[in-house]
Structure 1
Amino acid sequence: MKAELISTVFLSEKRKSALLMLMDGPATVDEIKDSLTGTTSAIMAQVKILLEQGLIEQKEDGYRLTHIGKIIMKKIKPLVEALDVVQENKGYWDSRNLGCIPEYLLDRIGELGEILVHEPDLNHLFEPPSQLLKSLHQTTNVYTFYSYFCPTCPYNYAELSNKNVNFHLLLTQPVYDRLKDEYTDQYNAMMESENAHLYICNNDTLKLGALSITDDMMLIAFFNKEGIFDHKKVLSFEESARQWGKDLFLHYKEKSEKVK
C-alpha cells in the first residue's frame, strides 16, 4: 500500500499538481482543469485515481483533500519543492559547498522556489547582478552579508544611508577593516545614519560568500567545493525565498558583534 500511494503522487505530474493545488483549499472541477494541462478526459482520469486512493473527496460541486490526503501532502510538499529547486540546476548545486547552511534551513531549501543562477561575464565579474542594483534603488529594507570585498558595496550602502533606507550589513573582520580604512567617506556616511546597522562576524564560522535580501528579491552566493568563489549567484524573487534568506541572515547575526 505504501508503494501504491507513493506511485499515486509521484508517477503523474497531473496528480501531483492537483494535490498541491488542493492544499490551498477546495477547488471546483473547472478550477482543476484550468490549472492543469491536458484534455478534460485525461485530467478527470487522474482525479478518479486520487478519489480511489482516498487522497481527495468530492463535496457538492468540488474536490478537497481528505484527512489522509492532508497528512501525506504536508510531508510530501517540502520534498517536491526541494526536488524542483535542485533538479532544474543540479550541476550548480552539486558543485556548491552547502556547509554554511544550518540543517534546519537545508530542510527548507524548497522555499527558494524558482531560482535564477547568475554567472557574470568577465567584464562584470566583480559587480553585483543588475537585478540586485535595481532592487537596492527602490527597497526600504536590506539585509546583506559579505565574506569578500565587493568594490561597489561602500558606494551602494553609503547611498542607502543618505536615502535613510533601513539596512543591516554584516561583514567579516577583514572586509570591515578594508571598508573602514580605505572608504572613509562611505564608512562615515553609514556610521552617521540612524538606519544603518553594521556587524562583524567571526571568520571561523563562515563558509558563505554573500547574502542579500531586499523587499523583492534574495541573492545568495556559495563557495564551490574546492573553496573557490567563482562569482555564481542564486537569485529568487519569491516571498518564501526572502523569508528563508532572512532566517539565514539572523543565524549569522547571532554569531556576530554589533558595531553600531
Structure 2
Amino acid sequence: MTNLQTKSELNKEYKNIKYILTSTMRTKLILTMHESSKNLEELRGELQKPSATILHGLKELEEINLIRKVQKQYQLTSNGVILATNMVKLIENWVSLNNNSTFWNNHYLEDIPEEFLKNMHLLKDVTYIKSTTSDLSNAFNRYIKLISDSQELKIIMPIYSENHFKHIIELLNENKLKYLELIISEEILNSIKLNSSFKKSLLENKKVKILCINQNLKLFLTCSHKFMSLTLFFKDGHYDDSQILIGESENAKKWGIGIFKYYESKLNK
C-alpha cells in the first residue's frame, strides 16, 4: 500500500492538483492539447468558449509552467504532458470502474497488487457476466467454453473445485490443452494428492506445472493467449462463482498475465 512518505507528498501536492481539477476550463485546455498543439482559433472551436475565457485559462496554466506559447501555437510543457497523460489515465480508470462497478464494489480486492489497481483502465473493454436465477451456471459455463478453446493456460486457483479440475483434466486428456501452469495453495495441493485420479492427471502430467504458494489468495485468475478472466471472493471471505470478468483485448490480457507473473516471481524468490 501507499507508504507514509508518499502520503505526505500527496497531501503536500493536493492544492496544486485541486487547482487544476476544480477548473473546467483549465482541465479541458490541458486535455485538448494532450495530443497536439493548438492555436487560439482551434481552441475556441473545440471548447466553444469565447477568446477572453480561454486566454484567461491559458495565462493561468502558463504561470505554473504547464503550457507555453510558441509563435501562435499553445502547447504543453514537459510537465504538462506528464500531467495530461496521468489525467487521461485517471479518467480511463474511472470509466473502467464505472462500467463494472457492481463487480468491484462487492468483492475483496486486497490480493490484486496495487500497481494493477492503478492500471484498471486496461480493463475498460472487459465483459461482465453474471449468473441469474434462471441460469445459475451462466458464469461457470462461459468460463468452461473459454478454456476449451485454449491450448495453453496459466491459472491462479484459490479453491479446490472438482468441477473445474474435471474439465481441465478432460482437456488435457484430449490433448486440446497442451500446457497448464497452476498456482495453488499448499492446502489445495494436499487435496489433489488425496484424489488418486487428480494426482495422476495433474501432479504426474508433464504438460502440467504446479506452483505452490504459501498464502490463501482470494482471486481466481486465468490467462491464455486469447483471453483473461477474473472471479473474486465476497468481502466476507466466501468465493463468488456467480460473477466473472472476461477480457479479450491485448490490454486486458496484459493486465491478467502481469498479475500471474507477479505471484510467480514471489514464488521464484
Query: TM-score with structure 2 length normalisation?
Result: 0.67
For 2:181, which of 152, 156, 168 is the aligned residue?
168
Counterpart code for 1:167 = L
Q: Structure 2: how far apart are the matches of 1:230 and 1:10?
A: 44
Going from structure 1 to structure 2, the CA distance change for 1:7 and 1:105 (only over 3 Å counts) comes to same
Q: Structure 2: how far apart are the matches of 1:170 and 1:82?
A: 28
Which of 1 and 2 has greater Rg? 2
Counterpart code for 1:190 = L
Given that 1:212 and 1:220 are in contact with CA atoms closer than 8 Å, whether structure 2 keeps it comes out as: yes
Counterpart code for 1:220 = L
For 2:207, which of 190, 195, 219 is the aligned residue?
195
Aligned residue pairs total: 237
Tell me by how many angstroms 1:19 deviates: 5.9
Q: Structure 1: how far apart are the matches of 2:30 and 2:247?
A: 23
Tell me by how many angstroms 1:94 deviates: 2.4
Given that 1:207 and 1:222 are in contact with CA atoms closer than 8 Å, whether structure 2 keeps it comes out as: no
Given that 1:148 and 1:209 are in contact with CA atoms closer than 8 Å, whether structure 2 keeps it comes out as: no
Tell me by how many angstroms 1:234 deviates: 2.1
Q: Structure 2: how far apart are the matches of 1:102 and 1:201?
A: 16
2:149 maps to 138
CA deviations 1:92-134 (Å, max 9, x no partner) are 322221111222222223322223332223554496241x333
For 2:93, which of 82, 89, 92 is the aligned residue?
82
Q: Does 1:180 align with 2:193?
A: yes
User: Unpaired segments of 5 or more residues in structure 2?
Assistant: 1-14, 39-43
Tell me by how many angstroms 1:73 deviates: 1.9
User: Unpaired segments of 5 or more residues in structure 1?
Assistant: 29-40
Going from structure 1 to structure 2, the CA distance change for 1:118 and 1:164 (only over 3 Å counts) comes to closer
1:128 maps to 140
Query: TM-score with structure 1 length normalisation?
Result: 0.69
Identical counterparts, % of pairs: 18
For 2:256, which of 238, 245, 248 is the aligned residue?
245
Q: Structure 2: how far apart are the matches of 1:127 and 1:160?
A: 22
- After superposition, residues 79-118 of structure 1 pair within 5 angstroms as 79-118=90-129
For 2:159, which of 128, 148, 172 is the aligned residue?
148
**1:128 counterpart SS class:** helix
1:6 maps to 21
Going from structure 1 to structure 2, the CA distance change for 1:256 and 1:4 (only over 3 Å counts) comes to closer
CA deviations 1:13-41 (Å, max 9, x no partner) are x8787567x3xxx699xxxxxxxxxxxx9
